[in-house]
Chain A
Amino acid sequence: MSTASILTCTDLTIGYRNKKTIVKEVSKKLNLHLNRGELVCLIGPNGSGKSTLIRTLTGIQPPLSGEVWLCGKKIGDLSSEEKAKNLSVVLTTPVQAGYLTAFDIVALGRFPYTNWAGRLTESDKNIVMSALASVGADNLACRFIHELSDGEQQKVMIARALAQEPELMVLDEPTAFLDFPHKIDTMRILKKVAQKTEKSILLSIHDLNLAIRCADQLWIIDQNGTMISGIPEDLVLSGIFGSAFEIDGVSFDPIRGEFTIPVEKKGTFSIVAPESIERIWTLYALERIGFTPAEGSMADIDVMVRKDGEKPVWQLCNSDGKWECENICELVECISAHHEGVGYH
């Protein structure tokens, strides 16, 4: 690979070795490259070996065979201090440390650079403050870590990893404890960090939609431990993305780029509506209550959306008659009241 490759593994086999004989291979023949300034999302179902891979790539656990190269050196040959200067981590488990301010926590990231007493020089302090600033947490510097919200704590931990000035940051499920807007915010921060500071970022994540939207590269491990890497869009188009995650009844919609929730089929519909946001959400509503497009054949219900001045009006037709509704809630109630046999409850 080119010189820009920060993390490389060649013919890597990961897994566990018990005593001498029993070997459990989690995944084998891995050839992966992570380039400078790249954000890579590692995704895979539970139990597929994400954590094992992360532990191996960060040198916590030795590989069964093959090599991991960090910045051109074998990770096993690096001293712990050299490794700390090239690689920093953010772990899943929240840190519980009382009486430490956000500044103190981030300052601990300077560990590999400070003297025996951990004394911070002016430049260390500036690095700490700019790390806090680049995750948007500079206003939290004097707050105690145990008084911050989960989202704020996560920012501080990312700032700590950043203050360690590594080439590569590895984050184990950084979005696990956060609500959806904070998940997006965390990913936004990480993308910004990767672009601005040219750091490489590897993170494991369970939010597939988020991973597709944010990652420069996806590493997918499926249930069998097979690893596929590529850019998200290619993986979706080739169908690899869907097949790696589909379980009974849950399928991946390659057009919308998300997994659909299976519902019991109630009937078919046809729709007449101009291209508008009302049309899109009417379709979602019909799909949610179990109706699929009629696709040419005779539909069970006909829905029409039109504008009455500024206000949209929904019109429902079936074999029994015709109804007008003011909003989708009424439409849904109307359908369940008048659709025979398999009424929606």
Chain B
Amino acid sequence: MNLDDGKAGNNMRRLDVAIPLILGILVFLFLLDLMLGSVNIPPNAFFKILTGGTVKVTWMNIFWDWRMPKAITTVFAGGALALSGLLMQTYFRNPLADPYILGISSGASLGVALVMMSAGIFGVGTIFTNGLISGISISMAAILGAFAVLLLILLISAKIKSNTTILILGIMVSYISGAIVTVLMQFSDESSMHSYSIWTMGSFSGVTWSQLPFLVILVLAGFILSLCLVKPLNALLLGEQYAESMGMNYDHIRKVIILTTALMAGAVTAFCGPVGFLGIATPHFCRALFVTADHRVLVPGCIIIGGILALCTDIISHVPGTNIILPVNAITALFGAPVVIWVIIRGTRFGRGVTT
């Protein structure tokens, strides 16, 4: 039996063509993100910096201390969100699942709210919100919050097999932490409430060079774990029972999936705030773009496309040439949603809608 070349089973070949192209777009947008902002660095000066030359000190500072960590953060955060969204959509077999469905971001929010507002209540808020250590303490609080929820979910999932139950418990955790945050807000002063609401809008700009390695290492670990999961993820597309009948160890795999998702979503939330939309939309975008649900294509695809979409968001949110900075969460949905709607309804040459 001869395989008709370029027809059946060519999912990987599709990736061979697409990867160089989308990687090129990623690099282009990365450079664009470094160039544009409140101060646009002219192309020739930009080229000089890239090749190791020296230009105006302000441009050098903007480039190295401000834009470079921001751009790196954006690429990794975008990829991590897209990938953890993909993992959750496959695990729950639900097209509406997103990285935060397990309650990870709610845990992080609760941690951040506790630091920001309880400090405000006890009168030491200014140290945290305006002082130098604010960034670190907020990240720490978010990581601790996310980690606490992760532990809770893992403990629950050891006892409960049904993933629908886990889904509902995740949503319940979100409600509980949301309620605690609301209560805290009632007692906190205006400035800490303001800084909390700024945090919930998400931003890729807050990560410093000293924090960046933590984010990158956590997210890279998530990428590698996800790449190791492609085969069981594909099996899970047929449902848990089929996957088990094919020799997959479901109990083991589900824990790895939950852990990987929490790792990536938790790290991103800790450093960038609860950035929404990218996680739920990018996997659908990738399925429509690559016209497959094969995770050997979707996992690398989501990493790169997630990075691309996050870079676009970041460029737009720092409205080039102005001092305006728009919240990331507003941009992702405002500009991203129409694009995604267009792609999944009309964008593919097959015109297929969303299916998981």
Q: Which residue of B lies closest to A115 (CB)?
A: B231
Cα distance A291–B328 in the bound complex, in angstroms? 80
Contact residues in A for B355 (Cβ distance below 8 Å) = 97-99, 146
Known A-B contacts A99-B291, A100-B292; A80 and B248 likewise in contact (beta carbons under 8 Å): yes
Interface residues of B in 77-128 (CB under 8 A from A): 93
Cβ-closest chain B residue relative to A133: B1
A112 sits at the interface (CB 8 A)? yes
What is the bound-complex CA distance between A101 and B290, given in angstroms? 13
A118 touches B231 (CB 8 A): yes
Q: List 7 A-B contacts (CB under 8 A).
A: A84-B247, A98-B287, A117-B231, A117-B296, A129-B1, A129-B8, A142-B8
A118's partner among B234, B247, B356 (CB-CB below 8 A) is B234
| Binary interface encoding of chain B residues 207-233 relative to chain A, with 1 for a CB under 8 A from any of its CBs, else 0 | 000000000000000000000101100
Q: Give Cα distance in the complex from A85 to B245, angstroms.
A: 10
For the complex formed, measure the closest distance between the CB of B297 and the CB atoms of chain A, giving whole angstroms.
10
**Chain A contacts for B296, CB-based, 8 A:** 117-118
Asked if B351 lies at the interface with its beta carbon under 8 angstroms from chain A, I say no
Residues of B within 8 A of A (CB): 1, 3, 7-9, 11, 93, 228, 230-231, 234-235, 237-239, 241-242, 244-249, 287, 291-294, 296, 352, 354-356
Q: What per-residue 1/0 map shows which CB atoms of A54-69 lie under 8 Å from chain B?
A: 0000101000000000
Contact of B246 among A95, A112, A130 (CB under 8 A): A112
Contact: A97 with B246, CB < 8 Å?
A: no
Contacts of A105 in B (CB 8 A): 238
Say yes or no: A99 contacts B352, CB within 8 Å.
yes
Is A58 a contact partner of B247 (Cβ separation < 8 A)?
Answer: no
* Interface residues as binary, A108-147 with B (CB distance below 8 Å gives 1, 0 otherwise): 1101101011101000011011100100000001101010
**A203 interface hit (Cβ, 8 Å):** no
Q: Shortest Cβ distance from B126 into chain A, in angstroms?
A: 52
Q: Is the CB of A164 within 8 A of B292?
A: no
Contacts A116-B231, A125-B3; A100 near B245 (Cβ below 8 A): no
Flag if B246 contacts A164 (CB, 8 Å).
yes
Bits for A246-277, please: 1 = Cβ < 8 Å to B, else 0.
00000000000000000000000000000000
Q: Which 3 A-B pairs have the closest CB atoms?
A: A98-B355, A84-B247, A118-B231
Which residue from chain A places its CB closest to the CB of B243 in the assembled complex? Answer: A111
A87 to B9, CA, bound (A): 24
Once the chains bind, are A142 and B246 in contact (CB under 8 Å)? no
In the complex, the chain A residue whose C-beta lies closest to that of B230 is A117
Interface centre among A81, A95, A111 (most CB of B within 10 A): A111
Contact of A103 among B8, B93, B246, B249 (CB under 8 A): B8
Residues of A within 8 A of B356 (CB): 97-98
- The answer on a CB contact under 8 Å between A129 and B234 is no
Q: Is the CB of A58 within 8 A of B11?
A: no
Q: Check: A88 CB closer than 8 A to any chain B CB.
A: yes
A85 to B230, CA, bound (A): 20
Q: Hey, which chain B residues are within 8 Å of A89, CB to CB? A: 241-242, 245
- Chain B residues closer than 8 Å to A120, beta-carbon distance: 9
* A80 surroundings in chain B (CB, below 8 A): 244, 247-249
Beyond A58-B245, A116-B228, whether A101 also contacts B237 by CB under 8 A is no
Please measure, in the bound complex, the distance between the C-alpha atom of A83 and the C-alpha atom of B244, giving whole angstroms. 10
- Nearest Cβ distance between residue B151 and chain A, in whole angstroms? 28
The distance from the CB of A320 to the nearest CB of chain B, in whole angstroms, is 65
A140 to chain B, nearest CB (A): 10
Q: A104 at the A/B interface (Cβ < 8 Å)?
A: yes
Instruction: Knowing A88-B245, A108-B246, A116-B231, say if A97 contacts B237 (CB, 8 Å).
Output: yes
Residues of A within 8 A of B228 (CB): 116
Bound Cα distance A77, B352 (Å)? 45
How far is it, in angstroms, between the C-alpha of A200 and the C-alpha of B11 when the chains are bound? 33
A96 to B293, CA, bound (A): 12
A110 to chain B, nearest CB (A): 9
Name the contact of A141 in the complex, choosing from B7, B11, B93 (C-beta under 8 A): B7
Q: Are A108 and B238 in contact (CB under 8 A)?
A: yes
Known interface pairs A99-B287, A108-B238, A111-B235; A130-B1 also in contact (CB < 8 Å): yes
A96 → B minimal CB distance (Å): 8
Nearest neighbor of B348 in chain A, beta-carbon distance? A99
B-contacting residues, A64-82, CB 8 Å: 79-81
Nearest CB of B to A179, in Å: 24
Alpha-carbon gap, A120 to B292, bound state (A)? 16
In the assembly, what is the distance between CA of A176 and CA of B246, in Å? 23
A149 to chain B, nearest CB (A): 16
Residue in A closest to B292 when the chains form the complex, CB atoms = A99
Q: Say whether A107 faces chain B, with CB atoms less than 8 Å apart.
A: yes
The answer to whether A23 has its CB under 8 Å from any CB of chain B is no
Contact yes or no, B1 A97, CB < 8 A? no
A104 and B294 within 8 A (CB): yes
Which among A87, A101, A114, A164 is the interface contact of B8 at CB below 8 angstroms? A101
Cα–Cα distance between A81 and B232 once the two chains are bound (Å)? 13
- The answer to whether the Cβ of A93 comes within 8 Å of any Cβ in the partner chain is yes
Q: Are A84 and B245 in contact (CB under 8 A)?
A: yes
Distance to closest chain B CB from A201 (angstroms): 15
**For A58, A104, A164, which residue has the most chain B Cβ atoms within 10 angstroms?**
A104
| A83 neighbours in B (Cβ, 8 Å) | 247
Q: Bound complex: CA of A116 vs CA of B296, how far in Å?
A: 11
Asked if A4 is at the interface of the complex by the 8 Å CB criterion, the answer is: no
Whether B239 pairs with A93 at a CB distance below 8 angstroms is yes
Once bound together, how far apart are the Cα atoms of A83 and B241, in whole Å? 14
CB of B233, distance to nearest CB on chain A (Å): 9
Residue of A nearest to B241 (CB): A91
Check A100–B294 contact: CB distance below 8 A.
yes
Question: In the bound complex, how far is the Cα of B246 from the Cα of A95, in angstroms?
Answer: 15
